[in-house]
Amino acid sequence: MNEVADTAAIILPETGVAEIGDAVMEEVNNGLLSIGADSVWANKLDNWVVLLLIIGVALLANVVCRHIILRAVAKLVKQTKATWDDIVFDHKVMVHVSRMVAPILIYLAVPIAFPEHTDSIWLDALRRLCLIYIIIVFLRFICVFLGAVYHVYSEKEQYRDKPLKGLLQTAQVSIFFIGAIIIVGILINKSPMALLTGLGASAAILMLVFKDSIMGLVSGIQLTANHMLKVGDWITMPKYDANGIVTEVTLNTVKVRNWDNTITTIPPYLLVSDSFQNWQGMRESGGRRVKRSINIDMTSVCFCTREMLDKYRKISLLKEYIDETERKVEEYNSANGIDDSVLVNGLRQTNLGVFRAYLTNYLKSLPVVNKELMYMVRQLQPTEKGIPLEIYFFSSIKDWVPYEGVQADVFDHVLAVIPEFGLRVFQSPSGEDVRSLNSFLNR
C-alpha cells in the first residue's frame, strides 16, 4: 500500500475494508438478481451502485450537517452570554467544517465499492483527489477561524494597539505554504517532511521571495513593542507625504488617511528605519502647543513716562503689575540716590516690558490655556526684521479646527492691542507703502 492508503488504514484497516466490501457487493449483487437483472450485468453494475450509494450517503450527511445540526447549534449559541461563539457562527466558520463531511466519507468508503481494486492506480488517484479537497477545505476553515478570532480580539480595547492584522496575515501565509507542501507531497507520493527538508536548501530563495512579508512582520512587532504606532494615531511623515490618521496596519503596509482624504501606504519597515512624528502623545496630554512670534519694530521701544504708566494702570490686567513694579523701581532708585530727572538713570519700565507683562497676564486669564503646562512671552534674537516677540502656551482644545480658532483669536487680540502700548509691528514695505511715499514726495 502507498502512503495515502496507509493514512486511511489508521482509521479503517484495509482487511476490514475488504471484508465489508465483499459483504456489501454480495448484498447488492443479490438485490440486482432479485429484480431480474442478468448475472453478468449484475456483476458489472454492483460496484457502481455501491459507489452511487456512498455518494448519496455522503451528500445526505452534508445536508444534515449544514441544514439541521449547524442550525440547531447556532440557535443554542445565540442563547449563551458569550459573544465569541456568535461571531464564529456569523462568519460561517462552521460551514467550512461541514464541507469536509462528504469528501471524508467518500475517501473512507470508496474502497468498499471496489474491494477487488484496492491497489489499483485509478482508485488511488480518486482517493488522492478526495484527500486534497479535504486538506484545502480544512485550510480554508483554519483561515476563516483565525479571521473570526481576529475580529473578536480587534474589538477589545487592550488589543487595539497590537499588530493583529499582520499576525493574522502571517499565520494565513504560513498555513497555505504548509498546505501547499502537503498537497504537492500527496500528488507526487512523497512525504511532506522530505519536501520540507529539501526546501531547507532553498531558504535563501524563500527569504528573498518573502522578504517584504518577513520585514513587515518584524517591523510590526517592533512598532507595537515600543508603542510607536497603532490604528487611530495621527502621524506625519513628510518624506512620504503622509499626514493623517492611521486606519490600518497590515503585514506589508500601513495605511494613512491624510487630511485631504487621500490614502498614503507606507511599508512598516520604513516606519522603523526612518523617522516619523506621532501626535498621539499630544492628544493624550493636557494641551496642544502654540508657538508663534510677532516682529516688533525696534524704533518703537521706549521708556515709560508718567502719563504712559497712568494710562496702563487703567488696564485691569496691568494695574497690579504696574503698582508693584513702580514700587520696586522707586525703592531701588531712592536707595541708590538715582537722579530720576533723566530717564536713563536707574531702573525704568519700558513699553515693551509692560506689553510682555500684559500678554503674560492675558494668557493667564484665558480659559483655553492650560495653566498646568508652560506658558510665557519671551524675546528672541533681534534681526534686521525687528524684535521677535514669541508667545508660547498650550491650548486645552486640541482638535485641529477649534485649535486654529484659538490661535487666531489670541493673535487677533495681540495685533490689535500693540498700538495701545506705543509699539509698532514690523513688516516689509508693500506696494501701497511705495505709492504713499511717492504721492507724498510729489506734493
Section 390-414 average pLDDT: 93
The amino acid at 286: G
**DSSP label of 425:** B
> What is the edge-to-edge ordering of all strands in the sheet holding 263-266?
263-266, 254-258, 242-249, 234-237, 277-278
* pLDDT value of residue 309: 93
* pLDDT value of residue 356: 96
E strands along 198-240, which residues? 234-237
Closest CA to 426 of 297, 298, 299: 297
- The per-residue pLDDT of the chain, averaged, comes to 79
* pLDDT value of residue 144: 82
- Is the model's pLDDT at 22 over the cut of 60? no
Q: Tell me the pLDDT band of 186, cut-offs 50, 70 and 90.
A: confident
* pLDDT value of residue 434: 73
Q: Tell me the pLDDT band of 322, cut-offs 50, 70 and 90.
A: very high
* pLDDT value of residue 424: 94
- At 63-80, the pLDDT tens digits run 887 777 777 777 776 666
Exposure of 389 by Cβ count < 10 A (0-12 exposed, 13-18 middle, 19+ buried)?
A: buried
Bridge partners of 389?
294, 379
The three grid cell numbers given for residue 156, joined into one nine-digit string? 477589545
The three grid cell numbers given for residue 276, joined into one nine-digit string? 516619523
Section 86-100 average pLDDT: 69
CATH 1.10.1740.10 correct for 191-281: no
In this prediction, what percent of the chain has a pLDDT beyond 90? Answer: 29
Domain range annotation of the chain: 3-155, 191-281, 288-432
Determine which of 102-116, 263-277, 364-378 has the lowest per-residue pLDDT on average.
102-116
**Max Cα-Cα span within the chain:** 142
- Is the model's pLDDT at 154 over the cut of 80? no
Spacing of C-alpha 268 from chain mean position: 11
* pLDDT value of residue 15: 46
SS3 273: helix
- Is the model's pLDDT at 331 over the cut of 50? yes
**DSSP label of 353:** H
Spacing of C-alpha 429 from chain mean position: 50
* pLDDT value of residue 3: 45
Q: Measured on CA atoms in the order 181, 145, 257, 395, is the torsion positive or negative?
A: negative
Rounded distance, CA 27 to CA 33, Å?
10
- At 333-342, the pLDDT tens digits run 888 888 877 7
Q: Tell me the pLDDT band of 219, cut-offs 50, 70 and 90.
A: confident
Q: Give me the residue label for grid cell 488696564.
A: 315
Higher pLDDT, 436 or 352: 352
* pLDDT value of residue 251: 72
* pLDDT value of residue 55: 80
The three grid cell numbers given for residue 141, joined into one nine-digit string? 476553515
**DSSP label of 334:** H
* pLDDT value of residue 113: 67
- Is the model's pLDDT at 124 over the cut of 60? yes
* pLDDT value of residue 11: 42
The DSSP element (H or E) to which 102 belongs, if any, is helix 101-113
* pLDDT value of residue 10: 40
- Is the model's pLDDT at 1 over the cut of 60? no
Spacing of C-alpha 228 from chain mean position: 11
Q: Measured on CA atoms in the order 198, 200, 205, 208, is the torsion positive or negative?
A: positive
